Chains A and B, each alone.
Chain A
Amino acid sequence: MSLPLLEANRLEKSFAGVRALRGVSMSLKPAEVLAVIGENGAGKSTLMKILAGVQSADSGELKVDGAARAFRSVGEALSHGVALIHQELNLAETLDVGANIFLGREPRRFGLIDERKIRSEARRYLDQVGLSIDPTTPLNALPIGQQQLVEIAKALSVNARVLIMDEPTSSLSGHEAQSLLKLIDTLRSRGVGIVYISHRLAEVEAIADRVEVLRDGENAGALQKGEICHAKMVSLMVGRELSQFYPHQTLAPGAAILDVQELRTATHPKHRNSLTVHAGEIVGIAGLVGAGRTELLEAIFGVNPPVGGTVLVQGFPLNTRSPQAVIKAGVALVPEDRKHSGLVLEMSVRENISLATLARDQRLGFLNREREQSLCQEMTSAMNIKTPSADQPVQFLSGGNQQKVVIGKWLAAAPRVLLLDEPTRGIDIGAKQEIYRLMDELASRGVGILFVSSELEEIIGMADRALVMHEGRIRGELKRAELSEESIMNLATGGDASHGSSIVQTASPFSL
């Protein structure tokens, strides 16, 4: 039994009187991948920040190689071999790769930066992460996945023995994520200990030697290698069984309400995509990141106008060059990135909810304040938005409540077609369930729903029918009975539909 590389005992941390960690313990052995999972707000990020020296704990102890340490800065943690690979990358975009790896500790010769040494050393560390690029490449010329590898190379260059990775695959394509997981495997075989935080449970299943689950700032349980499975992780995270999770009831679909014919998006102009959504139907769009799903929704909505094709709503063609016309025709889009596209963060809950319906409710150009107020009240209670007041700026709400504000904004417009792009990304499980319930309720009122999701279980749990996209085109369609992780992944990775339906019989734990 080797000594733990990193050990934390009964860590506590409070912010302004709020207890984020209530006595969390964990340990990491050399050559081990420990996954830390939990809902948003469970305390994962706080724990990681304490381990990496970004923040210090109020109480509890931290040991490196069995010796008690208290990191007061990231630099101190680094000097003991603990490195944090941030969720949002921490690199200087305009500098080259070599300069980034040695940023702040450049090798010098006669007082000047020794470029030659930077290049040769950088190449060595880049080799270790399997990146065969020239160290003089500007960082911003690299795709995000390779930038992340540069960050890992940087950590290796300071002899990090513990790598803490916070949602490392959240912005990677499927292929990039795969090669990252392979790299983690290699690093593990070299004795590096890795703390891996992810919402993507499939990855955790694939890579983790052990799983530590946090809930409400406490240890909720741990799973050893043989026990790690999706259902157990979820039930530890939420403290309840998965089977209650998706409320979806399939309804007999009504008339076609959204009809997309041979639509070509600006990003993938070669491919013509057609699809139909009926009233009361929930259609999922699955696929890997970068498959063109968001582009398809944004083309329908007119924010990124299509380069060809037609869209009909209840039989009438849409002017897809103008979001105003699309909204007027009864189409709403809840975008993927709520902070950049969904909300005006500094504005209040009320102002955000009314933003898309101001034009409809205007009186000769003047704001209709009573209507605005009543809409806000209606949506706050319908969506169960937790906010101290209607005047609270939305930046101070939790992610789940922010997302409910975005959805509330579009419910206020009473849409007939609702486009949802990753509607539950980054929000906690309670809010997720509320959003699922709402989707179901809207469908029962005859709204046609088209939603994009990267979470396979969400597609399987919520969709009456799923379209699977691969590299810009709809690769195939799966009926509810055919939905399984295997059938979706097969199409999403470029397999064909016939193969997909042949494995439909294999029961998936998520076809409820």
Chain B
Amino acid sequence: MKKILGILALLIVVCILTACLSSSFLSAYNIENVLRRSALFGILSIGVAFVIITGGIDLSLGSVVCLVGCALPWLLTVQHWPLSLAIPTVAALSIGIGLAHGLLVTKLRIQPFIVTLCGLLLYRGIARGFTRDQTVGFGNEFKPLRTLATGKIPFLPGFDIPAPLIFLVVVAIVAAIFLNRTIYGRYLLALGRNPQAATYSGIRTERMTILAYVISSGLAGLGGALFVLDVNSAQPVDFGNFYELYAIAAAVLGGCSLRGGEGAIVGVLIGAALMQVLRNTITLVTEKNNVEFAIIGAVILVGVIADELTRRIAYRRRTAQALRQTITSEA
């Protein structure tokens, strides 16, 4: 909880600073834009958070974004598939990828890093293959479908809620309930901390781990579809490039530990928003974004160091306290 408050405070500070440095930060257009980007990245971050909670990692999701982002317009406009076939196909594709990752990680016990690193190369390669490296897009067609990502819901005069935010809210609520209120969420948190103790408690740890990879790739697929609907076209060479790193960074900033077993959906949302606000800040304040990675890298590093230090202090205090309580209760 403290961790979430810390990251929330950081987000607010960054917002205030940026508002002071750039007058356009608080314009309705910019806010809508940041919200839209945050929503899209938030969906990816929630997905990867589930894998991180199991103690794993998913490096492939940027490539899944690329694969789905290219496959959807390609199937619709190049292959002329009907919508009713194309949508289930990309959905099955992304869920199938998660299933494959999960099976490789649990049944063959290959390290998640390796499995998803191969995925990262594989899916982008496949996307570049079937598109022959050509940009694919919707052109002027599929306007109603595209409103899923580009649509706006009037909220205040002069300010609309971008449609992806609705997706994010739904995904986040379902994810939070799943993680905190169902036995499966508890199983994930337990097996992330100690898979052996979870197994000895009768938890089907392999199934739960596979489920986490399915959630991750599934949400990456949803994100990929929304991303391409938002920007209208996808270039297979760089579409979704580095998105896995933004998502992982958001999850870690938001309180997921790469050691597993720790994480809250609210934190991940704030982490995702912070990443996008930072990117926005850099663009607005420096008017170019060549230092973007350096600044984002530094912010994440500082955040993680601060977290590790507070964790140590808390652990020490707690141990001493526990010792004192044991002594007094025995005396």
Please tell me which one of the listed residues A16, A333, A351, A362 contacts residue B190 in the complex, with CB atoms under 8 A apart: A351
Of B96-104, B138-146, B197-205, B281-289, the one contacting chain A is: B197-205
Q: Which residues of A contact B193 (CB under 8 A)?
A: 344-347
Question: Given known contacts A15-B323, A18-B324, A351-B186, is B203 in contact with A345 (CB within 8 Å)?
Answer: no
Is B197 in contact with A341, judged by CB distance below 8 angstroms? yes
- Counted as pairs of residues, one from A and one from B, with CB atoms less than 8 Å apart, the total is 90
Instruction: Say whether A323 faces chain B, with CB atoms less than 8 Å apart.
Output: yes
Please tell me which one of the listed residues B197, B320, B321 contacts residue A343 in the complex, with CB atoms under 8 A apart: B197
Task: State the CA gap A341–B202 with chains docked (Å).
Answer: 11
Q: Which residues of A contact B326 (CB under 8 A)?
A: 386, 397-398
Instruction: Output the least CB separation between A72 and chain B (Å).
Output: 21
Of B111-119, B177-185, B211-219, the one contacting chain A is: B177-185
Size class of B's contact patch? 20 to 34
Question: Given known contacts A15-B323, A344-B193, A347-B189, is B201 in contact with A366 (CB within 8 Å)?
Answer: no
Instruction: Say whether B325 faces chain A, with CB atoms less than 8 Å apart.
Output: yes
Is A365 in contact with B324, judged by CB distance below 8 angstroms? no
Instruction: Output the least CB separation between A21 and chain B (Å).
Output: 13
Task: State the CA gap A351–B322 with chains docked (Å).
Answer: 18
Task: State the CA gap A326–B202 with chains docked (Å).
Answer: 9
Q: Which residues of A contact B324 (CB under 8 A)?
A: 16-18
Task: State the CA gap A358–B185 with chains docked (Å).
Answer: 11
Instruction: Say whether B23 faces chain A, with CB atoms less than 8 Å apart.
Output: no
Of A344, A358, A362, A396, which is in contact with the most chain B CB atoms at under 10 Å from its CB?
A344
Is B202 in contact with A359, judged by CB distance below 8 angstroms? yes
Instruction: Output the least CB separation between B310 and chain A (Å).
Output: 16
Task: For A341, give the chain B residue with the smallest CB separation.
Answer: B200
Instruction: Output the least CB separation between B54 and chain A (Å).
Output: 13
Please tell me which one of the listed residues B198, B318, B320 contacts residue A344 in the complex, with CB atoms under 8 A apart: B198
Task: For B317, give the chain A residue with the smallest CB separation.
Answer: A16
Question: Given known contacts A324-B204, A347-B190, A358-B187, is B198 in contact with A365 (CB within 8 Å)?
Answer: no
Is B319 in contact with A396, judged by CB distance below 8 angstroms? yes
Please tell me which one of the listed residues A362, A367, A409 contacts residue B201 in the complex, with CB atoms under 8 A apart: A409
Question: Given known contacts A344-B190, A359-B202, is B183 in contact with A396 (CB within 8 Å)?
Answer: no
Is A16 in contact with B323, judged by CB distance below 8 angstroms? yes
Question: Given known contacts A303-B200, A341-B197, A346-B193, is B187 in contact with A388 (CB within 8 Å)?
Answer: no
Is B182 in contact with A366, judged by CB distance below 8 angstroms? yes
Instruction: Say whether A342 faces chain B, with CB atoms less than 8 Å apart.
Output: yes
Please tell me which one of the listed residues B183, B199, B323 contacts residue A359 in the complex, with CB atoms under 8 A apart: B183
Task: For A356, give the chain B residue with the smallest CB separation.
Answer: B201
Task: State the CA gap A299–B317 with chains docked (Å).
Answer: 41
Q: Which residues of B contact A116 (CB under 8 A)?
A: none
Is A346 in contact with B197, judged by CB distance below 8 angstroms? no
Task: State the CA gap A345–B196 with chains docked (Å).
Answer: 12
Instruction: Output the least CB separation between B259 and chain A (Å).
Output: 10
Instruction: Output the least CB separation between B95 and chain A (Å).
Output: 20
Instruction: Say whether A392 faces chain B, with CB atoms less than 8 Å apart.
Output: yes
Is B199 in contact with A355, judged by CB distance below 8 angstroms? no
- A residues contacting B by CB (< 8 A) are 15-18, 303, 323-324, 326-327, 333, 335, 340-347, 351, 355-356, 358-359, 362, 365-367, 386, 388, 392-393, 396-398, 409
Q: Give 5 new A-B contacts, CB below 8 A, not counting A323-B200, A324-B204, A340-B194.
A: A15-B320, A351-B186, A359-B183, A366-B182, A398-B326
- B residues contacting A by CB (< 8 A) are 181-184, 186-187, 189-190, 193-194, 196-204, 261-262, 318-327, 329-330
Contact sample, A vs B, 28 pairs, CB 8 Å cutoff:
A17-B324, A18-B320, A18-B324, A303-B199, A303-B200, A324-B202, A340-B194, A340-B196, A341-B200, A343-B194, A345-B193, A346-B262, A347-B193, A355-B190, A358-B187, A359-B183, A362-B183, A365-B182, A365-B183, A366-B182, A366-B183, A367-B181, A367-B183, A386-B326, A386-B329, A388-B325, A393-B318, A396-B322
Closest 10 CB pairs of A and B: A16-B320, A396-B322, A358-B183, A327-B202, A356-B201, A355-B201, A341-B200, A344-B193, A344-B194, A323-B202
